[in-house]
Amino acid sequence: LNGNTATVFIEDGSSASVDLTSLVNDADADPNNELQDLSINATNDSILISNGQGISLSSINTD
């Protein structure tokens, strides 16, 4: 990443530049509210984010 341009390296050895300028202003100007801490609860059946909200994984069949 260099400024607003990301360079993506492709398997064949070539690369491409991606202009990210349109993504710079997300209208709230606070980079810290974009971050979340993810965790898995003690019974390993839910993924939780920073504020305690989460999603249950118990209905997923792991067989």
pLDDT band at 14 (very low <50, low <70, confident <90, very high): very high
pLDDT tens-digit readout, 19-46: 988 877 767 767 677 777 888 887 888 8
Percent of the chain whose predicted confidence (pLDDT) is above 70: 84
* pLDDT at res. 26: 66
pTM: 0.38
Scored b (16 or more CB within 10 A) or e, 18-50 reads eeeeeeeeeeeeeeeeeeeeeeeeeeeeeeeee
Domain ranges for the chain, please list them.
5-24+35-59
Task: Say yes or no to pLDDT of 61 above 80.
Answer: no
